[in-house]
Chain A
Amino acid sequence: MSIAAIRTLRGRAWQIYEQMGMPTPQQEDWKYTDLGRINAALGDNWWKPAVPERSIPSLGADQLEALAIPDLDAWIAVFIDGRFQAALSDLPEGIDFAPLMRLVIDRPEQAASMLEVDKRMPLFNGFVAVNSALATDGGVLLLKANTVLDRPLLIRHIATRSGTAHIRHSIRLKERAEAHIVEHYCGIGEAAGLTNTVCQIDLAAGSRMRHDRIQMEQPCHYHIGRLSVTQARDSQFESHSVALGAALSRVDLSVELAGPGAACALNGLYLIDGRRHADHHTVIDHAVPHCTSREHYRGVLDDRARGVFNGKVVIREGAIKSDTAQSNANLLLSPFAEVDAKPELMIYNDDVKAAHGCTVGRLDTRQLFYLRARGLTEADARQVLTFAFADEVLASLKPAPLRRFVEHAAFSRLFHEEDAEEMLT
């Protein structure tokens, strides 16, 4: 395998994109998300990488400081506009972490297997193909058997200019390894850009992973993200996907429970205001017996925001003793907000436990009355109840500095900075 071979592979991926094009609302999986906004903002060549020449973007120390998560003791890998920044990163020794670009040169076979386009992937679409064709950089992490990453690994993506950042991560945990990954998406400035990331996670038998995805990009930015997880026997995966920013964001999250005893818990919060649009599509595939899945997504929608949630759980023929429960709750705070939810169950055998629930509503008037009767102002009462609703998801974020950071970001979006401050202390 040579670099030339990778070039052919990327060429094929590009052809697949040219055949498929961008998803349209006529496609069932994109019924509620119109990508016309991306075309309008970025033009037909929306895929053009953000940094065409080899110029290294630079950020001031104070700018970086403003984006940091206070008090979080973590390893860190920084990507600016889709390029890995070794100087800003701090990575553990003995852990095999290589940015994709170096991998292409050093170990092309591995790079090729990462970039291979698999059309059978759940929710496959043109963005994945484009990502394979154009991915500029990304993290490749391999954790050997029985190793435990002592601190969370924070992967920060900073968008600073217009154009698209195509990022490809691959994280593999060998037997009984443990890791906590935090993907943090943020940005600076007013330039309209797009983040198109693909993260593939492969968990070997007995391994455990926490994965948190915090998306708080600038209001002029667009975000297309994908997380594909494969779990072997007795592995555990817990994820949080929090969408607070971007003009339009879409996250496709798929988990394949491929070994008996595997368990996953997917949590999510989309808390958006303005004209933002946040779309989460999840697929949990119970391919083998004795697997467990839990899913809990909540939405808080203010102003003219629109939230989309589609959670699909498939239990295959022969996957007996599968246990799945899914819940989706949505809170509409404004007369112009909208939510479109579709919790799906597809079950192909009888020896299973499966349930899902979905609710949409406003704040409970009786609860509001209770708080007002105890002297809270209307606005305060609403804040308390909204906070309590959303915190059901955020409360399970770990460690505490990360939780505080996300809670603060979420609530200062909806309320005055001081109020959020007060609520959280």
Chain B
Amino acid sequence: MSEAVKLKPTPRSFAATQYAAGFVTEIEQETLPPGLNEDVIRRISAMKGEPEWLLDWRLEAYRHWRTKREPRWSMVRYPPIDYQAISYYSTPRRKGDGPKSLDEVDPKLLETYEKLGIPLREQEMLAGVAVDAVFDSVSVATTFKEKLKEAGVIFCSISEAVRDHPDLVRQYLGSVVPITDNFYAALNSAVFTDGSFVYVPKGVRCPMELSTYFRINASNTGQFERTLIIADDDAYVSYLEGCTAPSRDENQLHAAVVELIALNHARIKYSTVQNWYPGDENGVGGIYNFVTKRGDCRGVGAKISWTQVETGSAITWKYPSCILRGDDSVGEFYSVALTKNYQQADTGTKMVHLGRNTHSTIVSKGISAGHGCQSYRGLVRMAKSAENARNHSQCDSLLIGDRCSAHTFPYVEIKNPTATMEHEASTSKIGEDQLFYCRQRGIPEEDAVNLIVNGFCKDVFNELPMEFAVEANRLLAVSLEGAVG
């Protein structure tokens, strides 16, 4: 996902560098009028040529969503969202079926991705990363399909998967995050328009990193993507996800669902660099990022690892979780979250231990600056059946400035005496002695702060694929500019 965050900072003013992905692409778009009812869902489904069962599933989700209330327990404040003012489908206009190859993709779109540092075309030739690019509601291009096909890996947009691999989709869709799971998951299930689908067959190690790039372009729309990743027995896949959106004064909604399924001895590594538009320095605009991500270690010895770098969004509400069902399965969560200006983040993870000898690790690093408000909310649950389960959690917060806040809400529920659980958390500011040490050696204050922040986040960045880590570092530095001093 190095491509997601190549935001080359130039020595111009901070305002210019702060959010380099904030431009709008002028492209002809087909957008459904705002509003949500069963007819809208039928139209979305019809436009995508979906089978009957999927429409029924969507309608069931919609009916359930109508009965649910928006969650209010998190430490984020925002005005009520009018779900009838959002358009639920927006697509770049095109003729007939989707593009067969990159040559058929609208050059304007390719240009957009190039501007963002994701040259889809070059990517196909040079870099070893397969990309699925999602523009507003639909997937515009997926690269490297042929090479992946040789290995037997299915990597395509979820719409294609519904068409070409309906059995797989039907078997797994909603099996980790059911439509009744929560308010936003129900909404997503009803109106999701696209997203990525990955299936890695038995014993296959996916030959390259897979990557999805999400872009919100149209105004007044919400993006509802759905990602489904299945790693069959002994398979391995590393998946990267990045996101940006134009700078607008309105708030836009992004409610995604990600489901991961790891069977016996399969491993899934899921990395996110989330850089949605965070709003301006007065807290105007920005994306509401309400995401449900969950992985299910169904098989023995399965492993799911979440790594996230969250620098964008006006509001983040996400808890990538692991259900450790299989014996000896492993769950990991590594997170760096940055809130500045008026950004708010309520994020964390859930580790639900069901199988024997299951292990989980949580490392969460929160950085709060300006008026940023950040919460770590995590759950470690060890069921009666979780013999010898182990968890280690570490949540550290770094505060920069006296107007920001950082909160920690770890829930610990242990029902098995052989389980071991350790949680530690600390909150501090950047050490004055550390800063002094750097300054004394001629490092400017801003660089010194970057250095210290990078050191603070090292445990997490070490988990990212290498080129991705470099970019994450840079993104963090760009985001922190102007927040210090």
The interface of chain A, by Cβ under 8 A from chain B, is 28, 32, 317-318, 320, 330, 332-335, 337-362
Contacts and interface: CB of A to CB of B under 8 A. Distances in A.
B426 A355 contact: yes
Interface string B393-435: 0000101111111111111111111111111111111000000
B73 interface: yes
The 10 closest A-B CB pairs, nearest first, are A350-B399, A332-B417, A350-B429, A354-B427, A341-B412, A358-B423, A345-B408, A360-B421, A355-B426, A360-B414
Contacts of B414: 330, 332, 338-341, 360
B425 A357 contact: yes
Given A28-B73, A350-B429, A354-B428, A342 B410 contact: yes
Contacts of A28: 73
8 contacts: A334-B417, A340-B411, A347-B399, A348-B404, A349-B402, A356-B426, A359-B423, A361-B419
Given A347-B407, A349-B403, A353-B427, 6 more contacts: A335-B384, A345-B408, A352-B429, A358-B412, A358-B422, A360-B419
Nearest to B380: A360
Contacts of A317: 402-403, 405
B412 A340 contact: yes
Contact of A360 (B399, B404, B412, B425): B412
A346 B402 contact: no
Q: How large is the interface on B (under 10, 10 to 19, 20 to 34, 35 or more residues)?
A: 20 to 34
A350 B369 CA distance: 9
Contacts of B403: 317, 349
A355 B425 contact: yes
Contact of A362 (B400, B412, B418): B418
Interface residues of B: mostly helix, strand, loop or mixed?
Answer: strand
A273 B401 CA distance: 47
Interface string B120-144: 0000000000000000000000000
Given A350-B399, A350-B401, A342 B412 contact: yes
Contacts of A343: 408, 410, 423, 425
Contact of A346 (B401, B407, B424): B407
A337 to B, nearest CB: 6
B352 to A, nearest CB: 14
Given A338-B414, A356-B424, A357-B423, A351 B402 contact: yes
Given A355-B424, A357-B423, A344 B417 contact: no
A32 B411 CA distance: 11
A74 to B, nearest CB: 38
Interface in B165-201: none
Nearest to B396: A355
A350 B402 contact: yes
B402 A320 contact: yes
A337 B402 contact: no
Contacts of B73: 28
A342 B411 contact: yes
B51 to A, nearest CB: 39
A357 B392 CA distance: 11
Interface string B226-244: 0000000000000000000
Contacts of B418: 362
Nearest to B423: A358
Given A330-B414, A339-B414, A347 B424 contact: no
Interface string B133-167: 00000000000000000000000000000000000
Contacts of A357: 422-425
A318 B402 contact: yes
A347 B412 contact: no
Contacts of A334: 417
A341 B426 CA distance: 17
A359 B425 CA distance: 12
A335 B383 CA distance: 11
